[in-house]
Each structure stands twice: as C-alpha cells, then as structure tokens.
Amino acid sequence: MFCEGSWVNSARNIVYYENKLECELKRKDGTWNKKRLTFIPKLKYHNINGNFKWKNCKNNVVFNSTSHYHISRRYPRVSIQECLDNINNKYDDWFTIDSKIINYKKENCISISLFKKHIDNNYENQYDVDNNKWNNKYYNNLIKNLNNFNLDNFNVNLYLANDLKDLLPIFKKYIFLNIFIMKSESVGAQPGMLWRYIDITNKSYKSVFIADIDESWNWINNWFHNVEDNYTLYTLKPGDSAISKENSCAWNFATIIGSHIKVNPIKYNFNIIDVMKGFISFCKKREKSINPYCFNDNDPITYWNHPVRKHKYGWGRIITKYGFDELFLKHVIYHYVYPSIKFYD
C-alpha cells in the first residue's frame, strides 16, 4: 500500500508496513523531521515544513477556539434521535446493573466507575493489566478521595465492574457510597468509563458531578458553590493538542472533559443508557461504511478524525478503547446541551 502525494519528493528513509509508514521529512531550513504516520490511502499528503498535511486538513477550524462553529467542524453533530434509531440489544449487558447497595440518598451526586481492564483491549482480556500500576493510579487514589470526602448533601454513586466484587467489604464502610454492581467486567476502557455517565439523566438528583477516581475531588466543592445553576452542562475549557509528538496528523479537542462535568439532570429529556447503546451501535455500523472515519459518507477527513496508532478509525472511534467516552460527549452530548454549556478555565 502506497501513501499518495507530493510528500515523497522531500522525504528519505521511507519504510512501509501496511498503511503505516516511517520516514524523515525535510524542513524549510534543510533539517529533517522523523515522522510516523497511519495514512488513509485515498488522501494525498504533502510535506509542509516537515509535517504531513492534506487538502483542508483543518476543515477551516481555528485551533483552541471553543466557538460552536469551530467545535462543530471538528466533531459534527450526531443527534439523540440518530442514536435511538440505531439502538439494538447487542450491548444491553454492558449497561445492566446486576445488584446494588444503596446506603445514602442526597440531593446531589458524584458519579464514578471502577473497572480493571487494559485500556487498549478490543475484546475481553486481550492484554494483561499491570496490577501495580492499576493499584497505584486508580484504586489507591479512589480510596484517598473516599477517605477525604466531606461534602454535605452529596452521595457518591460507584459503578463497579462485576469482577471486582471482592472489594465490597472495603467500599461498604463508606456510608455515603452507593454501589452498583454491573453485569459486565468492562471490555477495555469501555464500557467502564461510560458507566459514570448513567446519572446524567437521573432526575432524582438536583445536580450530578462526573469525576475521575484518580484525581482530587476538590474542584467539586468549588464548582458547587461558585457556578450558576441555569446551564445544562459545565466542564473545563478544552484545547487542541497533537495526540502523538511523532504524528502531526491526529489531534484531539476533548470538548467536554470527562473528569470534570456538572449537569442538571432535569434538563435532559432522554434515557442516556439508550442513547449510549445507540451511539455504540452507530459507530460499529460506520466501520463498514466507505468512510469509517466519519458519521456521514461525505464528511471530510480532518486532524480530528484521522487515524493514529491503534485507533484505526480516528482517536476514540473504537468502542472499547480509551477516548470513546469523550467521543460520545463530543458528537452527541455537546450538541444536545449547546448553547447551554459553560466552559471554565
């Protein structure tokens, strides 16, 4: 397979492996830039000062802009109805709650999830988990957050992978913690990272905060006391960043930061589990299309959906991998809540 375009005229040490290549591209100053690229055969790439480019690669987007125009050109809208139109029962088990332990019910909720799978899995147990890394990064930091929990009028909802039930005696000690034991163990990073979104449409809460378990929850108290209550969703202000230093063709704009979200559930008029299942099915269907990088056959391939490393359909497009949860937020939830969204620096 050959990567088309004029880039080859100013490159050296070209090595191919299927649709991946390594080479050095010549810069304007005469130096050479080592590049690794997962390329799309139908695109014609060019060398612009030592970087791969192609026609309209930015799709008229201004970097780091949070305007609706520029976000929409990075990540086009997938409507709630499109998700519901694509729903099937194939992914029911991913979101089924096997059992639950309800200890505490307050007006406000922190929603989190815990699972133990390799984030690059395409199927269950494809790669082994580094136990030491998992304990240090996830479990120990979760326990630290639970030990430091001191928020009034809040409970914490933990969505727990089925294979981690041995941790129940530890979690039961926290009276503010409700535990939902899932039928699934998660496959890879997903659906585990998606479970924490389940409470977005839980109207029994006045407000829901979605958090990472490996970061301090101090921000929640600040946001609770210092934000207006008229927005549908609050998150951190995102920015554009290259996914790989050796590959300028794939960029990410997180849009809604999965670790810092506040929502008012009353403003959502759908069941988010159904919408997530439908979006997953839609993504799988698009993999068989003539343009699997986009949600419409005529949409352009840009920095924000170009394949990179193991993400062969673009960053976050594989339904089990890291980044898919934020892909759902970018294409579906952002467009639903706009313009009632607030970005915080």
The tens digit of pLDDT for each residue in 160-212 reads 999 999 999 999 999 999 999 999 999 999 999 999 999 999 999 999 999 99
Position 244 scores a pLDDT of 81
Q: What pLDDT score does 332 carry?
A: 98
Closest listed residue to residue 97, CA positions, set 177, 24, 6, 182: 182
Q: How remote is the C-alpha of 339 from its chain's centroid?
A: 21
State pLDDT tens for residues 287-335.
999 999 999 999 999 999 999 988 999 999 999 999 999 999 999 999 9
Q: Show me where the domains of the chain are located.
A: 6-53, 68-344
Average pLDDT score, the chain: 96
Angle at CA of residue 118, ends 112 and 122, nearest 5°: 110
Which residues lie below 8 Å from residue 67, measured CB to CB, with a gap of 6+?
none
Would the pLDDT of 47 be above 80? Answer: yes
pLDDT, residue 1, reads 85
Second CATH level (architecture) for the domain 68-344? Alpha-Beta Complex (3.90)
Strands 51-53 and 260-263: unpaired
Which band of pLDDT confidence, cut at 50, 70 and 90, is reported for residue 278? very high
Query: How sure is the predictor about 108, in pLDDT bands with cuts at 50, 70 and 90?
Result: very high
Read off the pLDDT of residues 65-80 as tens digits, 9 standing for 90 and up.
Answer: 999 999 999 999 999 9
Model confidence at 222, in pLDDT bands (50, 70, 90)?
Answer: confident
Q: CA nearest 156: which of 205, 120, 115, 121?
A: 205
Cα distance between residue 50 and residue 34, in whole Å: 8
pLDDT of residue 91 exceeding 90, the answer is: yes
Whole-number Å distance between alpha carbons of 296 and 286: 8
Q: For residue range 251-262, list pLDDT tens digits in order.
A: 999 999 999 999
In the chain, at which residue ranges do the beta strands (DSSP E only) sit? 11-17, 20-26, 32-38, 46-48, 51-53, 97-101, 108-114, 154-160, 177-182, 207-211, 233-236, 240-244, 247-253, 260-263, 341-344
